[in-house]
Structure formats: C-alpha cells, structure tokens
Amino acid sequence: MFNSTLRRGFVLLASVSLALSSCGRTPASAAPNLSALAAAGEPVINELYYDSPSTDVGTFIELRGPAGLSLSGYTLAAFDTAGTQYRTITLSGTIPASGYFVVAQDTTVPSRTLVNAGADLNNGAGSVRLLKSTAIIDAVAYGSPTSNRGEGTSAPTTGAGSALARVPDGSDTNANSVDFKVQVSTPGAANGGGTTGGGGATGKKVLFDLTKAEDAGNADWRIDGAYSDYANALRALGYTVSSVTGTSITSTSLSGASVLVIPEPQNPFSDAERAAIQSFVQNGGGLFMITDHRVSDRNGSGWDSPEVFDGWDGSTPASVSSTYQASLNSDVTFGLNASFNSSFSDPVLTATPLTTHPILSGVSSAGVYVGTSVDVLSGTALMGTGGKTYLAVNSVGTGRVAMWGDSSTFEDNTLSDGSTGTYNNWPNLSNAAMGKNIVRWLAKDL
C-alpha cells in the first residue's frame, strides 16, 4: 500500500534552493536533514538500480505512487557527489495500475514504463530528487556525497548488480539511511529484504559454466562478457548469477544452485563430472545446454560443442581416454541430442513455436545462426522449422533439462575484452524473452 506520510516544508525555500543549485552554490537547505515538500498522495522514489555488472546496462529508477496519477510536470534531477546537477529526466504518462512507474535506461529492463538513457546514474555516491515544477516531492542521497541533497543521512551505496530500495516497500520516514536497503533489483514489483543471504528475491542461484573454454577463440560466453545482458536480465528477475570456474564441475560447485547453464563447451566432461551433473538434475536441478554447429572447435582441442554434449564421434581427436569418451552423454542421460547431421550455415533461420508451453510465453520466433538441430529422444520439441527442432525440453527425475541449438542467441555484442561481437542478439526476434523463460522454467518458477 502506498505510504502517504505527510512531509512538510516551505515551497519558497525549495525554489530558492533550486535557484542557488543552478548557480553552482550549495544552499543551507541542502543539509542532510532536508524535509521533502510533498503532500499526501504524491509518489516517492522507491528503488534505484544504478550500477549493473560490467558496462552499465539495464539500470532504472522506480517510483511508487497512486495508480493513474499523471506525471506531467514531474522531473527527476540527478546530482553528483559535489551537489552539482548533471541530469534532468522529464517524466510523462501515468502511474500504472501496479503503482510502480519504472524509468528504464534501455529496453532490457522488465516492467518498464518509460525509457530514458538518463536513468543510468553515477555509481558510488550522489543524490536524486523528484520535482513537481520547482517543488521537491522526494529526495534520495546514496553513498557519501560531499553535498547531500537527500533526506537525513545518506542511504548506503550498492555494489555492481544490486539495487537500493525502500524496505518495507514504499515506506518513507524522511531518513534515507533508515528507509533504503541494498537488495536485488525488482523493477515494477514490491521490494523485499536485503541481499545478505545471497539468494536474491527468488532465493535461487543460476550458475554459468566456465570450466570448458566457453570463452575460447572468438567465443565469449561469459556473464561479464557476451552473456552479460543475459545475466543482468536474470538478476533483474531476482536470481543470483555467478560462474563455475576452474577445470571441472563437481557436486560441491553445484551445491545450492537451481540452474546450471552450459554455453557451447569446448572441452569434454569426465565421467565424474557427468555423474555430478546427472545427480544434480535427478535431484531437482535445472540444466540448460546451449550448443552450436558442427566443426565449431574454437580452442583446437578437436571437440565441438555437439560432440561435447553427445560424446566422442570417433574422428578427431584421434584418441580419447575412456574417461572422456562419453562426455556429457546428453542423449542417453537427458534424452536430448545435439544432432551431428543437421548443422547449417547462412542464411539465418527463424525457428517458430511448435506447441504451447510456458517457455514460449511472449515468444513468436527466434533467430538461429549457424547452429544445429536437436534430436528429441524423449521430452518435448518447442521451437523449430523445416522439420527440425532447435529448442527442446525434458523432465529427468525431479529436475528439468533444455537444449538450444545455437550459441549467439543470447549475446549482447559486448565482449569481455571491451571489443564488440558479431551477432548483436537479433533484436527483431524474441530471443531475450525466451532465454529468461527457459531459466525460469528450469528453476520451476514458470
């Protein structure tokens, strides 16, 4: 329920404060005990997500207020640590029925109401004010700005990937340090507790494998690289996202995880790794296998990703230890097989839904670029074209598995070394929605 605590002050004083601020001077009213000038029924700044991992994408400012309230005449003003205003965002439209108005930096933010690149605020420390004409409706300072333009003592700053949010949701005591907590981002939804448990709002963890040279050659399937948009989208849904590093996957490394994503592996899995992954799925975990086309050996190991998932094809490399020959054995273990016979190259093919399924909610098509089809030995074919399947799912034990036939689908075009990639996520298709839905289904949240 929207908090309608009355906050009193003098409109004239607010006007003088803004005038002095525009001249580069710091008025006395900018002290930490600033009282915002709002009447009952006005919105509040409810959540700030200003520091996403790697390069800032998906940042936002969320307001909470009465549904249907017109925001014509309202603006957001951002101030740096010295109290100098560096940005103004003009608001428009009305607060949705949910009561949350989300000003998003870009279109990757779920539940966005307005897109404005200015929603990417300074990291570390600063202040934000919500203005109605010249009256200060609400104000938040975070970090340790040398000139605090918020209410009371500043709220804490966040680390990359966390948001600053009013907890309890919508509460306003006119003291930022009391009202705001660091938590996972929840755009367009109620705020919850902090991040101390490490599990996010869903209490669930998603792991991306990085033990099998997934960033070899011109690949960069890292959550701080070409898959950073994918990781950020999952974090925005409330998941904790991290990588499995080192040389192998073990039961210990999978402990506490809900979903394991293996994006185009380049080296084979050992019998011990396969057993750990199989046990993880049998006991309720979700596994997402992302493959690519045949002869996509990026690190010269002799293995391409279809072979890593299905097992050694008897050709290259010429000799493989019996411990690695079966690799993940995905056809026998999980009922899904990355085809050795239907890889393809240009042009881009478009897969479309073959059935109704929660994963396909909001998805009309997906681009597949130089990938391979999936042989569905048991389970359900979800997307395909020309008699071939490119996305399939199956239930194994108490867990779930999914296989997708292309690696570029979830790329965001920014590599971990700062360079740019080739595929740019096919924005005219619904790949981002599909990727999030796959993880949600595997985590049993969809």
What pLDDT shows up at residue 411?
55
**Domain, as residue range, for 76:** 11-183
Both 119 and 209 in a single domain?
Answer: no
Both 340 and 410 in a single domain?
Answer: yes
Confidence of residue 423 (pLDDT cuts 50, 70, 90): very low
The helix (run of H) or strand (run of E) holding residue 431 is helix 431-442
Both 288 and 349 in a single domain?
Answer: yes
Task: Express the helix, strand and coil content of the chain in percent, nearest 5 each.
Answer: 20, 25, 55
Give the Å distances, CA to CA, from 22 to 15, 77, 299, 406. Answer: 11, 11, 56, 52
Confidence of residue 34 (pLDDT cuts 50, 70, 90): very low
What pLDDT shows up at residue 40?
63
At residue 193, the 3 state secondary structure works out as coil
Both 172 and 296 in a single domain?
Answer: no
pLDDT tens, residue by residue, 143-158? 889 999 999 999 988 8
pLDDT tens, residue by residue, 103-142? 999 988 988 999 999 999 998 899 999 999 999 999 999 9
Task: Compute the distance between CA of residue 155 and CA of residue 151 in angstroms, rounded to an integer.
Answer: 9
Confidence of residue 11 (pLDDT cuts 50, 70, 90): very low
Average pLDDT over residues 16-45: 45
Q: What angle do CA 315, 319, 325 make, to 5 degrees?
A: 80
Amino acid at 389: T
Tokens of 429: 């298709």
Confidence of residue 348 (pLDDT cuts 50, 70, 90): low
What pLDDT shows up at residue 196?
33
What pLDDT shows up at residue 172?
85
| Least confident stretch, 21-30, 63-72, 143-152, 338-347 | 21-30
CB 389 within 8 A of CB 402: no
Both 259 and 176 in a single domain?
Answer: no
Both 179 and 218 in a single domain?
Answer: no
- CB-CB neighbours of 349 under 10 Å: 21
The pLDDT of residue 197 is above 70: no
**DSSP output for 92-112:** -SB--TTSEEEEESSTTSTT-
Both 259 and 395 in a single domain?
Answer: yes
Amino acid at 108: T
Task: Compute the distance between CA of residue 376 and CA of residue 19 in angstroms, rounded to an integer.
Answer: 67
Tokens of 385: 């074209």
Both 138 and 239 in a single domain?
Answer: no
Tokens of 35: 């009282």
Of 178, 187, 194, 206, whose CA–CA distance to 285 is shortest? Answer: 206
CATH number for the domain including 363? 3.40.50.880
| Least confident stretch, 156-160, 240-244, 314-318 | 156-160
What pLDDT shows up at residue 266?
97
Cβ neighbours for 241, distance < 8 A, ≥ 6 positions apart: 161, 205, 206, 207, 208, 223, 231, 234, 235
What is the domain count for the chain? 2
Burial category of 66 from C-beta neighbours within 10 Å (exposed 0-12, middle 13-18, buried 19 and up)? middle
What pLDDT shows up at residue 94?
96
Both 109 and 253 in a single domain?
Answer: no
What pLDDT shows up at residue 53?
73
Task: Compute the distance between CA of residue 37 and CA of residue 9 in angstroms, rounded to an integer.
Answer: 5
The beta-strand segments (E) located in 27-73 are 44-49, 60-64
| Least confident stretch, 74-83, 93-102, 176-185 | 176-185
The pLDDT of residue 345 is above 60: no
Task: Compute the distance between CA of residue 122 and CA of residue 77 in angstroms, rounded to an integer.
Answer: 12
Final residue of a domain: which of 183, 216, 247?
183
What pLDDT shows up at residue 95?
94
Both 118 and 243 in a single domain?
Answer: no
CB 221 within 8 A of CB 215: yes
Both 176 and 314 in a single domain?
Answer: no
Both 315 and 399 in a single domain?
Answer: yes
What pLDDT shows up at residue 410?
63
CATH number for the domain including 148? 2.60.40.1260
Helices then strands, counting H and E runs in the chain, come out as 9, 21
What is the rounded average pLDDT for all residues in the chain? 82
| Least confident stretch, 12-21, 95-104, 160-169 | 12-21
Confirm whether 189 is domain-assigned: no
